Amino acid sequence: MDDLAPLVEKLKIAEDETDKTEHLDKLIGLLSQNEDDREDLTQTVINTGVLDSVHKFLVDSTNNDICSKCAQLLAELAKTESVRQPLVDLNFVPPLVDLLPSEDITVSTQACRALGNICFENDAARNAMDEADTMKNLLGLLRSQLHSEVDGAQRLRTIACGFLVNLTNTHEALQEKALEGNVLEILNTCLEKHLDDQGLTNMTLLTIASIADSDVGKEKISDSDIPLSLVSLLSRDEMSENDEAILDVLISLSDSDKMKEKLANTSLPNYLIRLIQTNTGRSAAESQQCVKMASDLLVSLLVGDNSMETLFAGGDGSVFIESVKWLDSDCDNLKIAGALAIGNFARSDEHCHHLVEDGITDKLLNIIKGNNSDTEEPNITLQHAVLSALRNLAIPVPNKPRLLRAGVMDIVLNLSNTEILAVAFKLLGVLRMLIDGQEEASKTLGCNKEFISRLVEWCGVEEHAGVKGEANRLLAWLVRNSKSADVMKNIIRADGLQFLVAMATSEHIVMQNEALFALTMICSSVLADAAVALKEADLSTMLTTILKDKNTVSEITCNTLTLTKAICTADNLREELISSGIAVIIRELSDHKDKKVRDLARSVLEFIDNLPDAR
């Protein structure tokens, strides 16, 4: 630190180019040799005002050594975050950008270092570089060095690519300019021609990941040769330290169905399977991370319809065969991946039949039973994944009785004490699919008073819209599918009617219809038991609200009129309805443009007018 002041003074007054180079070199050495004091030392250098001289040297000098040393000094200074913005403010960006196309490889290298450090996590610097047309110069430099074998070219390529990472990271405008400048072609050449250069490959992957941050970038990359080059890099015989970074990029790119389909038709799935097989059972964190990333990527590919069909291959696909094996794994990450894979394969009725015939149901149930121990904390992600798969398997009609016979409903019910709403959401979905059209199963579930009480609790959950919606729908489906007075009475006693009444005004027409149908069945079967609860739930307001709304679709209006007629057989409810003015509303509907609404309104109106207490 004591050597700094005299050195700076000498640099300020130096006129001879050799002296300037020597003093700059000593200043650089002073900074690089005092890493622990870098922050203080850097700030001291700034405060001396020496940067004015450095700027002048940079602008006026035609000596490559001086320009190179100036840029190197700025690169060292810009390693300190607090200095980056001052360097922008002192207008160092334009002269540094001018150095990028230099024929002297050392000058270009140091200019890249300086600019790359200055714009690291610094949007103001990136904006300044955007104004200075830096992207055009940088891409031109990279393009000119792609095939160069001169001394220093390899280092320059890596540093220039690192600069490109810092320049484009989180900056959409510069990402777009990079794409306009055919950056993907350059990056792909880096991957193909310089495979043995680990540093360059790593920087190339980071740049691809940076550009893939935007939807436009992701789409452009997907349409380029880069995905296939990445797959080729992974599929080579020897393992590489870049494999994890490549997997990370491919996971990011696999968002779109088009990309999933492209990757599914390459050697990637088989490579991922080998990677999982090789690393399964190894305790090293790197091996476990490899297994997770590879299985995550395979599951991601299965989300696309076409890619899923490709990988299922009529039940003979290697990915399908492996995912079934994962269900028996000792590794929770693989069990989760296996369950998610099965859930994705089970998106068609044909596949669902195949899966159930193959005994997948028992494997999934064994996972639930093994993961619901009183002595161990359950793996919530695993429960969620297995329930998702079971729900999809329960959708086809022929599968429902088979799943019921396998004990799915009873085993799933053991999870109904969960406090995890994401698990409750999937659990409710499984049960709703299982009871669809299954009268006996619906009666069994609806007569489970403990579960009905829990179900009604979930109907009122405000913090998870999915749980609330599924719970309300299951309540309505229990009524519709069981056709049982006992089930209806259980729901009434558990205070469930208020939720069916509220559900009738849902913004979703399907849910409105389900609620109205369930309420109509209840009023037609056990109205005496339901009357008080319906009155407390303000049923009359719900009916008049729907019938008065000019935007109500005809189907909902007809179902509401049918419910109104059923309710009018109860004295206390009828009185409340009549006093609400519903007869006037229905009379208006008797002139509705829809014939079904008109006819039903007239029928209900006639029924009301003929009631003994009608007023």
- Taking the C-alpha atoms of residue 427 and residue 147, their distance in angstroms, rounded to an integer, is 58
Can you read off the two tokens belonging to residue 551?
Answer: 């935007």
**Least confident range of 74-88, 146-160, 226-240, 255-269:** 226-240
Alpha-carbon torsion (410, 412, 414, 416), positive or negative: negative
Average pLDDT over residues 472-483: 98
Check if the beta carbon of residue 333 is closer than 8 Å to that of residue 288. Answer: yes
- Residue-level pLDDT at 373: 62
Alpha-carbon torsion (498, 504, 505, 506), positive or negative: positive
Average pLDDT over residues 451-472: 96
- Residue-level pLDDT at 614: 44
Is 70 exceeded by the pLDDT of residue 612?
no
Average pLDDT over residues 118-139: 95
- Residue-level pLDDT at 498: 97
DSSP 8-state class, residue 593: S
Is 80 exceeded by the pLDDT of residue 487?
yes
DSSP 8-state class, residue 462: -
Average pLDDT over residues 540-550: 92
- Taking the C-alpha atoms of residue 42 and residue 38, their distance in angstroms, rounded to an integer, is 6
Report H helices in 421-553: 421-435, 439-446, 449-459, 465-482, 485-493, 497-503, 509-525, 527-536, 539-548
Give residue 214's pLDDT band: very low, low, confident or very high (50, 70, 90): confident
Give residues with Cβ within 8 angstroms of 473, minimum separation 6: 432, 503, 511, 514
- Residue-level pLDDT at 239: 59
Check if the beta carbon of residue 456 is closer than 8 Å to that of residue 475. Answer: yes
Q: Give the rounded percent of residues in the chain with a pLDDT score beyond 70.
A: 97
Average pLDDT over residues 208-230: 91
Can you read off the two tokens belonging to residue 554?
Answer: 């005809």
Is 70 exceeded by the pLDDT of residue 2?
no
Give residue 613's pLDDT band: very low, low, confident or very high (50, 70, 90): low
Check if the beta carbon of residue 210 is closer than 8 Å to that of residue 165. Answer: yes
Report H helices in 265-326: 268-279, 285-302, 305-312, 318-326
Identify the H or E element spanning 357: helix 349-357
Check if the beta carbon of residue 93 is closer than 8 Å to that of residue 52. Answer: no
- Taking the C-alpha atoms of residue 314 and residue 302, their distance in angstroms, rounded to an integer, is 14
Name the more confident of 19 and 328.
Answer: 328
Is 90 exceeded by the pLDDT of residue 371?
no
- Residue-level pLDDT at 128: 95
- Taking the C-alpha atoms of residue 288 and residue 341, their distance in angstroms, rounded to an integer, is 19
Q: Which residue has the tokens 């830096």?
A: 134
Average pLDDT over residues 126-153: 94
The per-type count for the chain, helices as H runs and strands as E runs, is: 41, 0
Neighbours of 181 (CB within 10 A): 17
**Least confident range of 45-49, 255-259, 341-345:** 45-49
Average pLDDT, the chain: 91
239: three-class secondary structure by DSSP: coil
Is 70 exceeded by the pLDDT of residue 86?
yes
Name the more confident of 377 and 117.
Answer: 117
Q: Which residue has the tokens 């793996």?
A: 379
Alpha-carbon torsion (342, 346, 351, 352), positive or negative: positive
- Taking the C-alpha atoms of residue 99 and residue 134, their distance in angstroms, rounded to an integer, is 11
Average pLDDT over residues 411-432: 96
**Least confident range of 187-201, 454-468, 499-513:** 187-201
- Residue-level pLDDT at 1: 53
- Taking the C-alpha atoms of residue 272 and residue 290, their distance in angstroms, rounded to an integer, is 9
533: three-class secondary structure by DSSP: helix
Q: Cα–chain-centroid distance for residue 85?
A: 35
Give residue 577's pLDDT band: very low, low, confident or very high (50, 70, 90): confident
Query: For the segment 15-55, what is each residue's pLDDT rounded down to a tens digit?
Result: 777 877 887 888 888 887 767 677 888 888 888 888 888 89
Check if the beta carbon of residue 601 is closer than 8 Å to that of residue 609. Answer: no
Give residue 89's pLDDT band: very low, low, confident or very high (50, 70, 90): very high
Is 60 exceeded by the pLDDT of residue 242?
yes
Kindly list the distances between the CA atom of residue 126 and the CA atoms of 118, 163, 166, 223, in Å, as whole numbers in the listed order. Answer: 9, 11, 9, 27
Query: For the segment 69-81, what is each residue's pLDDT rounded down to a tens digit?
Result: 999 999 999 999 9
Using CB atoms within 10 Å of the CB of residue 236, give its burial: 0 to 12 exposed, 13 to 18 middle, 19+ buried.
exposed
List, in order of start, the domains of the chain with CATH numbers: 1-132 (1.25.10.10), 437-526 (no CATH), 538-615 (no CATH)
Q: What is the 3-state secondary structure (H, E, C) of 31-84?
A: HHCCHHHHHHHHHHHHHCCHHHHHHHHHHHCCCHHHHHHHHHHHHHHCCCHHHH
Give residues with Cβ within 8 angstroms of 424, minimum separation 6: 416, 418, 458, 464, 467
Residue 199 exposure: Cα atoms within 13 Å on the Cβ side: 11
DSSP 8-state class, residue 170: T
| Torsional class of 91: left (φ above 0), alpha (ψ -120 to 50), beta (otherwise) | left
- Residue-level pLDDT at 375: 55
Is 50 exceeded by the pLDDT of residue 615?
no
Q: Which residue has the tokens 């088009």?
A: 258
Check if the beta carbon of residue 372 is closer than 8 Å to that of residue 413. Answer: no
Which of 281, 267, 384 has its CA nearest to residue 337?
Answer: 384
Which of 92, 61, 56, 71 has its CA nearest to residue 24?
Answer: 71
Give residue 570's pLDDT band: very low, low, confident or very high (50, 70, 90): confident
Confidence (pTM)? 0.83
Is 90 exceeded by the pLDDT of residue 450?
yes
